[in-house]
């Protein structure tokens, strides 16, 4: 196999002085007050030896929208503007009268200039420019192109900004200018070369004793190679600046068959296109070429025994894709890829990044090294109450582990505790390069009766990289994050501090507005400004508690709600749709529950009003009909978490029982200044004090962790999307 390197040279032809510019062949002569504008797509007049430029309409000028401004006044609407159908032309005469020339060119003296802005192949109507035509507005006009629907694009949106100059030709005043156009999109081309075969050795053992090694030969099926761009972006701006990363903007090309058009062992397909975008390593939206290669294999007798498709992920170079830039990727394939559509083998080839001008190719004999690659089945791993995790990675070279951080969140001090040094010292994470395996081995403290039990996930952030590789080298490193959750863990949610009590007695058939951050209704609730995290019971956070073990405590885990028909006072028609805590389940804790922020704090109130209040409470998009009075066990457990510095104090203590406590489903819980927590059943509690406080609970295990997207909810928590 002949080996060649492709050196791609960018040729740019742009004349700096308009007065000595050579006119394009066939350009019309200047007449009277004509302003001749010439539109040049970079390098358009040079002939490319590489197929693609003209074949794929990359230089085609279908229409030109031009905008003329007195020099330095591009912040205003254009003085003159128009649309021209080019029909293959590169020059156009704008006829202007004497007064227009004078206005544009400050009296039209020889050597005076005006500003020219042009947009080529704009997909919208010319009326889009009627309202505003200053260059800032024009540059930021949105464009959207269905690149994937066209094997060959009809044309590409371009723009350019230049100046025209008054000249003296044939003793007639006239002006001339050249506008250099650049494309708003980026171009990605791909070619690959595949070895003739790959031999895979498999060691055979019997009862743990080595028997022999079996070699399987895999041969590529060259007529079935396919490739396509994943995560192109269809939305852009006229000037080529990125517009964002909305999920709706991403697209995937259909598969394209690669062919060896030049019989040179390099297989390629028509180029791919995308508008500008940027990304971070490991982002799901990171663009890449997906290469699909079918391989056939022989059995140990050398007879064809079947075939299988293998998949390769070829990242785009860098961390951004710029407008009017050509990204050319060359890949040598000498190994089998991932054997599952989603489990691709990530590899890196040779990359060329250059201005997207007309190109020419110069070939030189050279040796191309084998592609370097490193791949992990995933970039993120989650361990739920487990001690050990082993993951095998794939790497072309000797590799090493670089531990960046091990963190554990402190909800009281609102900061991460750094356990990186401890993790290194105690070998919480190791890497064996012989087996290409990284291992997490970290024992959790799940004893909730102890003072130092784990209540937050540990987050391991590290990279597996080729030995001797710098930290930021993308193609020889793999960034990985492992999150290890204990048996009981906490999640903190910042409330938007929009809470509401619907106490008007709506029935279950009447929908209740679910207020979002555009509504500040705060019926019988404290002002938003007072919930500022500055003192006792001003906490703006909601806490979600995940409980899978309460060993050592006299609690059980289950559904503490009442499933029989029940009517909460003053809220008619709730029926069995609304489920509140049952007194008989006083020692039960829901498996996942969330406690309201201080937005839901109350003055002392009766138990009936407390029940009504929780049934009607909503906060941060978590709607009415899903909140309830907590059980005794849930309040006790939350107080314990505060006492052991796992969460801030949520239930304010007092000096004695006469000062009041917090309603639970079966009575009242009294946190005291002494650290003791007392409990009285309902009958005894009301004889002591008839009014107490309440802090409502949301059943995340039942309703889920996300707020509703609907605008209306019923008391039972069921919602519709009709907004009124």
- pLDDT surpassing 60 at residue 649: yes
Report yes or no: 486 and 457 within 8 Å, Cβ to Cβ.
yes
More confident residue, 271 or 509: 271
- pLDDT surpassing 80 at residue 331: yes
- pLDDT surpassing 70 at residue 507: no
Instruction: Assign 23 a pLDDT band (cuts: 50, 70, 90).
Output: very low
- pLDDT surpassing 90 at residue 420: yes
pLDDT of residue 362: 29
Per-residue pLDDT, averaged over 64-74, amounts to: 93
- pLDDT surpassing 90 at residue 258: yes
What share of the chain in percent tops pLDDT 90?
39
Q: What is the dihedral of CA 634, 640, 642, 643, to 10 degrees?
A: 160
Report yes or no: 586 and 632 within 8 Å, Cβ to Cβ.
yes
pLDDT of residue 569: 53
The one-character DSSP state at 697 is: E
Q: Which helix (H) or strand (E) holds 612?
A: helix 607-616
Task: Give the CATH fold of the 375-486 domain.
Answer: Immunoglobulin-like (2.60.40)
Report yes or no: 439 and 429 within 8 Å, Cβ to Cβ.
yes
Burial of 333 (0-12, 13-18, 19+ CB in 10 A): buried
283-299 confidence digits (pLDDT tens): 888 899 999 999 998 87
Rounded distance, CA 163 to CA 579, Å? Answer: 73
Q: Of 91-100, 209-218, 560-569, which one has max mean pLDDT?
A: 209-218
Q: Edge-to-edge strands of the sheet including 91-95?
A: 80-85, 63-70, 113-120, 158-169, 172-183, 34-41, 91-95
pLDDT of residue 566: 55
Longest dimension (CA), the chain: 110
> Between the CA of residue 179 and those of 64, 659, 696, what are the distances in Å?
11, 81, 67
Domain ranges of the chain: 4-184, 187-372, 375-486, 492-720
Q: Which of 458-467, 526-535, 681-690, 699-708 has the lowest mean pLDDT?
A: 526-535
Instruction: Write down the mean pLDDT value for the chain.
Output: 80
pLDDT of residue 287: 93
pTM recorded for the entire structure: 0.54
Instruction: Assign 180 a pLDDT band (cuts: 50, 70, 90).
Output: confident
Instruction: Assign 358 a pLDDT band (cuts: 50, 70, 90).
Output: very low
Task: Give the CATH fold of the 4-184 domain.
Answer: Immunoglobulin-like (2.60.40)
Q: Which of 110-119, 210-219, 516-525 has the lowest mean pLDDT?
A: 516-525
Residues 6 or more apart whose Cβ sits within 8 Å of residue 223: none
The CATH code of the domain at 187-372 is: 2.60.40
Instruction: Assign 503 a pLDDT band (cuts: 50, 70, 90).
Output: low
Instruction: Assign 402 a pLDDT band (cuts: 50, 70, 90).
Output: very high
More confident residue, 510 or 42: 42
pLDDT of residue 272: 95
One DSSP character per residue, 605-651 reads B-HHHHHHHHHHEEETTB-TTSEEPPPHHHHHHHHHHHHTTSS---S
Q: Which of 85-99, 534-548, 624-638 has the lowest mean pLDDT?
A: 85-99
pLDDT of residue 98: 74
Instruction: Assign 715 a pLDDT band (cuts: 50, 70, 90).
Output: low
More confident residue, 271 or 23: 271
Rounded distance, CA 370 to CA 335, Å? Answer: 10
- Paired tokens of 694: 């309440």
Q: Which of 70-74, 169-173, 595-599 has the lowest mean pLDDT?
A: 169-173
More confident residue, 571 or 376: 376
Per-residue pLDDT, averaged over 662-679, amounts to: 92
Instruction: Assign 720 a pLDDT band (cuts: 50, 70, 90).
Output: very low
Q: Do domains 4-184 and 187-372 have the same CATH topology?
A: yes
Rounded distance, CA 286 to CA 230, Å? Answer: 8
Instruction: Assign 261 a pLDDT band (cuts: 50, 70, 90).
Output: confident
pLDDT of residue 453: 95
What share of the chain in percent tops pLDDT 70?
81
Q: Which of 100-114, 184-198, 212-226, 455-469 has the lowest mean pLDDT?
A: 100-114
More confident residue, 517 or 486: 486
Report yes or no: 387 and 444 within 8 Å, Cβ to Cβ.
yes
- pLDDT surpassing 90 at residue 129: yes
More confident residue, 678 or 478: 678
- pLDDT surpassing 80 at residue 489: yes
pLDDT of residue 461: 96
More confident residue, 281 or 127: 127
Residue (of 289, 287, 475) closest to 374 by Cα position? 475
Q: Give the other-Cβ count within 10 Å of 77's Cβ.
A: 16
Residue listed under structure tokens 């003072």 = 451
Q: Which of 41-45, 82-86, 416-420 has the lowest mean pLDDT?
A: 41-45
One DSSP character per residue, 279-290 reads --TT-TT--EEE
Rounded distance, CA 685 to CA 73, Å? Answer: 79
Instruction: Assign 53 a pLDDT band (cuts: 50, 70, 90).
Output: low
Per-residue pLDDT, averaged over 422-449, amounts to: 93
Q: Which of 76-80, 223-227, 541-545, 672-676 has the lowest mean pLDDT?
A: 672-676
pLDDT of residue 74: 94
Instruction: Assign 516 a pLDDT band (cuts: 50, 70, 90).
Output: very low
pLDDT of residue 27: 33
pLDDT of residue 49: 35
Per-residue pLDDT, averaged over 568-575, amounts to: 51
Rounded distance, CA 718 to CA 724, Å? Answer: 17
- pLDDT surpassing 60 at residue 44: no
């Amino acid at each position: 196999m002949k080996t060649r390197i492709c050196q791609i040279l960018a040729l740019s032809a742009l004349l700096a002085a308009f007065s000595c510019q050579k006119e394009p062949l066939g350009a019309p002569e200047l007449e009277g007050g004509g302003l001749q504008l010439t539109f040049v797509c970079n390098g358009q007049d040079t002939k490319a030896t590489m197929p693609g430029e003209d074949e794929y309409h990359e230089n085609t000028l279908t229409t030109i929208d031009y905008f003329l401004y007195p020099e330095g006044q591009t912040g205003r609407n254009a003085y003159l503007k128009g649309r021209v159908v080019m029909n293959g032309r590169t020059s156009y005469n704008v006829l202007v009268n004497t007064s227009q020339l004078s206005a544009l060119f400050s009296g039209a003296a020889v050597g005076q200039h005006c500003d020219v802005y042009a947009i080529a192949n704009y997909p919208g109507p010319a009326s889009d420019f009627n309202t505003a035509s200053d260059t800032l507005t024009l540059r930021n006009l949105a464009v959207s192109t269905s690149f994937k629907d066209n094997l060959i694009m009809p044309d590409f949106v371009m723009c350019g900004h230049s100046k025209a100059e008054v000249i003296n030709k044939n003793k007639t005043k006239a002006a001339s200018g050249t506008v250099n156009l650049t494309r708003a999109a980026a171009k990605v081309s791909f070619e690959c070369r595949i070895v003739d075969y790959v031999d895979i050795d498999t060691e055979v053992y019997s009862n743990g004793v080595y028997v022999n090694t079996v070699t399987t030969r895999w041969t590529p099926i060259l007529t079935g190679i396919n490739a396509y761009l994943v995560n192109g972006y269809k939305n852009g701006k006229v000037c080529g600046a990125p517009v964002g990363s909305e999920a709706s903007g991403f697209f995937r090309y259909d598969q394209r068959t690669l062919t060896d058009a030049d019989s040179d062992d390099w297989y390629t397909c028509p180029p791919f296109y995308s508008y500008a975008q940027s990304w971070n390593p490991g982002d799901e939206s990171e663009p890449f070429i997906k290469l699909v290669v079918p391989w056939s294999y022989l059995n140990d007798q050398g007879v064809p025994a079947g075939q299988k498709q293998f998949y390769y992920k070829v990242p785009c170079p860098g961390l951004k894709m710029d407008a009017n830039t050509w990204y050319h990727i060359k890949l040598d394939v000498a190994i089998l890829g991932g054997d599952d559509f989603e489990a691709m083998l990530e590899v890196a080839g040779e990359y060329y990044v250059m201005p997207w001008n007309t190109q020419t190719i110069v070939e030189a004999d050279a040796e191309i090294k084998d592609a370097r690659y490193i791949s992990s089945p995933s970039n993120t791993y989650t361990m739920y109450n487990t001690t050990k995790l082993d993951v095998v990675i794939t790497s072309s070279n000797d590799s090493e582990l670089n531990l960046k951080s091990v963190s554990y969140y402190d909800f009281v001090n609102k900061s991460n505790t750094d356990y990186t040094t401890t993790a290194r010292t105690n070998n919480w994470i190791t890497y064996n390069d012989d087996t290409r395996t990284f291992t997490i081995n970290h024992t959790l403290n799940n004893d909730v009766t102890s003072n130092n039990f784990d209540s937050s996930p540990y987050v391991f952030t590290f990279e597996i990289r080729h030995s001797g590789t710098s930290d930021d080298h993308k193609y020889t490193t793999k960034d990985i994050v492992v999150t290890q959750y204990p048996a009981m863990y906490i999640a903190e949610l910042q409330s938007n501090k929009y809470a509401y009590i619907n106490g008007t007695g709506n029935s279950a058939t009447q929908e209740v507005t679910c207020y979002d951050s555009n509504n500040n209704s705060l019926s019988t609730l404290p002002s938003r400004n007072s919930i500022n995290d500055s003192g006792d019971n001003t906490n703006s956070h909601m806490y979600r508690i995940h409980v899978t073990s309460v060993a050592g405590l006299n609690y059980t885990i289950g559904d503490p709600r009442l499933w029989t028909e029940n009517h909460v006072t003053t809220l008619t028609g709730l029926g069995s749709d609304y489920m509140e805590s049952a007194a008989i389940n006083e020692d039960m804790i829901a498996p996942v529950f969330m406690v309201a922020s201080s937005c839901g704090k109350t003055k002392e109130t009766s138990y009936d009003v407390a029940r009504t209040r929780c049934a009607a409470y909503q906060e941060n998009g978590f709607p009415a009909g899903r909140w309830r009075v907590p059980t005794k066990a849930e309040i006790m457990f939350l107080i314990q978490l505060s006492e052991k510095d796992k969460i801030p104090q949520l239930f304010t203590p007092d000096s004695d029982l006469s000062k009041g406590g917090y309603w639970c489903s079966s009575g009242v819980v009294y946190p005291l200044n002494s650290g003791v927590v007392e409990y009285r059943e309902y009958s005894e509690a009301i004889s002591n004090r008839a009014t107490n406080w309440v802090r409502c609970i949301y059943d995340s295990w039942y309703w889920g962790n996300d707020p509703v997207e609907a605008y209306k909810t019923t008391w039972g928590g069921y919602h519709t999307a009709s907004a009124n």
